[in-house]
Structure 1
Amino acid sequence: MTKHDYNLSRRGFCLCCLGGATFAATGGWLSPAETFAAAKSLVVQIREAAAAAEITTTKLRGGISAFSGSGGNMCVLVGDDGKLLVDAGITATRPRIEKALAELGPQPINHLINSHWHFDHADGNEWLNSEGAMIMAHPNTLKHLTVATRVEDWDFDFPAFPKSALPTMLMKGDEETLKHNGQTIALKYYGPAHTDSDISVFFQEANVVHVADTFWNGVYPFIDYSTGGSIDGQIQAAEANVKMVDDQTIVIPGHGEIGNKKDLIAWRDMLVGIRENVAKLKKDGRSVEETIAAKPTAKWDPVFGNWAISPALFTRLAYEGV
């Protein structure tokens, strides 16, 4: 199967689609908090757009399909044991997610894995639990969902989730293995990366892995420093992903198109290169504004700099962590 056989539409990349106008208007020169707070909260914009978003289903292999269109990319494993989902999307998209799930077969929904705590990956927890899904996650996901959590760079306070939306099955260590529909499903905690709660979900027999927001294919990422993320953590996760896969692995990113090992390598090299450039400028005494003006991301902008996380904003995020 070639990459183009399982491309996902970028329509699923809500953060980019909705943020574009704000970044175009500001030029990306505002601080992250100022940019995300501009006009209506980006979180509110994403939820409103999800109410009308289409869901695109891409069948992969081994009974696994990917959904794009509801916040972060989701995936579903279908078989006689029932449906297992990775990530829950945004609640407002529920009718179209239900339709997409029904089109894959009549099996009940009985398992959901949260890749991390962010709302565009866990917002649908409550309704999926009401359909019968037991929710599994890393303990740090439960930690953030149980209490009010503020993301400074989004200038947004997330309320605690209701009890019915909380994970009830927690990883007992950094690795956990499940069996479902003939697949051995390996869960692995990255340590602090995009947040402090990120895990990968590897369907071993199918050789398909969901790495969530440790990989944003073809776009610069958001890094959530408020809940344990860092540029160095993103790089460490990128290194782990490259080592985890082979040339035949199908890689589902948190945002962007379905990828492969070559895409993971390009992503890692971009992160490493920009971090080195920004760190050197900061060490030389450049302010964040001077660092942005030096365009340390220029080499990678044609590929990664065309969506919501602009080169200027990603430079700020990198600068914060070096």
Structure 2
Amino acid sequence: MKSEHMLSRRGFCLCCIGVAGFAATGGWLSPRDAYAEARGLVSLIKDSAAKSAIATHKLRNGITILEGSGGNVAVLSGKDGLVMVDAGISVSRKQMSKALAEISPAPVTHLINTHWHFDHADGNAWIGSQGADIIAHENTRRYLSQVQRVEDWDYNFLPVAKSGEPQHVFSREHTLKLNGETAVLKYYGPAHTDGDISVMFREADVLHVGDTYWNGIYPFIDHSTGGSIDGMIAASEANLAASTDKTIIIPGHGNPVSNRAELGDFRDMLVAIRENVAKLKRQGRSLDEVVEAKPTAAFDAKWGQFVIDPAFFTKLVYAGV
């Protein structure tokens, strides 16, 4: 079981390209090739998610992580039903339903979206159709309810079905009291997108930070919907301020059970690479010249070994400084 899920632990939904691409190419698709064919990439992601098993990680106070359908999903169980943070990809419905039933036979009563990206919110429609209240930041609902383009993927995402649209939105902060937990939802401001929120389960001291934190891999930053490197750094600072050494931190992608020390390493990496790229850009270097200068080199061995390679991450940072 451990080796079967190593891919999703080390990566994220986009990493699923390898499963479908391996047979076709005789090896892993390179990050650059994958992003150059983004329309096929989204299909490959969905094809892989349809087949992937779901790994479960039990935490404390009735909180479980489900890993294997897009971003890392948190589930809080108890007398008020199941409360989910993120929904994965809809083609994983069979596996997700099985995993949820193994946690509890109770229905999903609440679904919280950390942001709008399909590997976190595509499952909204089937979960919402079963009666769950869907909660998100107001910008997330806007993106989910319209055709939304991601330039870096050269892809237009269709609106979710009506059943998958968040019914309850907020602008800054929202609190839920369910299953003996106080869930505090906080808006970051523009970060990975401009609709990202954190979810702190206060009594359990478990913090889901969505895609503002990618554990052990370079993150994607969606400039098309308001993301920036500065926003990612600010979100990391907010996450560090909201946590202690005892807090369990759930990243959007990568190893799903993390902590403040690992998050601090992520923040430090972002800050250092941002400064390296900004310095080169201030010198008048073009994007190609900055990429060639390898401003991420000191971090590539740890962070640059998966889908978002050093060159692509440099491009994302360059666009935001």
- TM-score (normalised: structure 2): 0.92
Contact 1:111 1:133 survives alignment (8 Å): yes
2:298 is the alignment partner of 1:299: yes
Give unmatched runs, 5+ long, in structure 2. Answer: none
Q: Secondary structure at the match of 1:51?
A: helix
Who is 1:239 aligned against? 237
* 1:108-123 equivalence runs, <5 A: 108-123=107-122
Who is 1:105 aligned against? 104
Contact 1:223 1:317 survives alignment (8 Å): yes
Q: Secondary structure at the match of 2:135?
A: strand
Who is 1:4 aligned against? none
2:74 is the alignment partner of 1:75: yes
Residue in structure 1 matching 2:175, options 168, 171, 177: 177
Displacement after TM superposition at 1:286 (Å): 1.3
Who is 2:139 aligned against? 140
**Structure 2: distance between partners of 1:198 and 1:147:** 18
Contact 2:192 2:220 survives alignment (8 Å): yes
**Structure 2: distance between partners of 1:214 and 1:26:** 24
Residue in structure 1 matching 2:228, options 213, 216, 230: 230
Who is 2:208 aligned against? 210
Who is 1:289 aligned against? 288
Contact 1:212 1:252 survives alignment (8 Å): yes
Displacement after TM superposition at 1:129 (Å): 1.1
RMSD (Å) for aligned C-alpha atoms: 1.8
Residue in structure 1 matching 2:8, options 11, 31, 35: 11
Q: CA offsets per residue over residues 66-94 of structure 1, 9 Å max, x none?
A: 01100000010000111000000000100
> Identity of counterpart residues, as a percentage?
56
**Structure 2: distance between partners of 1:40 and 1:204:** 40
**Structure 1: distance between partners of 2:98 and 2:130:** 14
Structure 1 pair 237–44 and aligned structure 2 pair: CA distance change class (3 A):
same
Who is 1:85 aligned against? 84
Give the residue type in structure 2 aligned to 1:122: A
Displacement after TM superposition at 1:207 (Å): 0.3
Structure 1 pair 196–39 and aligned structure 2 pair: CA distance change class (3 A):
closer
Give unmatched runs, 5+ long, in structure 1. Answer: 1-7
Query: How many pairs does the alignment contain?
Result: 309
Q: Secondary structure at the match of 2:51?
A: coil
| Greater alpha carbon shift after TM alignment, 284-293 vs 213-222 | 284-293
Who is 1:275 aligned against? 274
Q: Secondary structure at the match of 1:41?
A: helix
Who is 1:311 aligned against? 310
Give the residue type in structure 1 aligned to 2:208: H
Structure 1 pair 302–61 and aligned structure 2 pair: CA distance change class (3 A):
same
**Structure 1: distance between partners of 2:166 and 2:177:** 18
**Structure 2: distance between partners of 1:27 and 1:204:** 38
Q: CA offsets per residue over residues 25-46 of structure 1, 9 Å max, x none?
A: 6674x8xxxx524275211111
Contact 2:31 2:308 survives alignment (8 Å): no
Contact 1:9 1:68 survives alignment (8 Å): no
| Greater alpha carbon shift after TM alignment, 136-145 vs 159-168 | 159-168
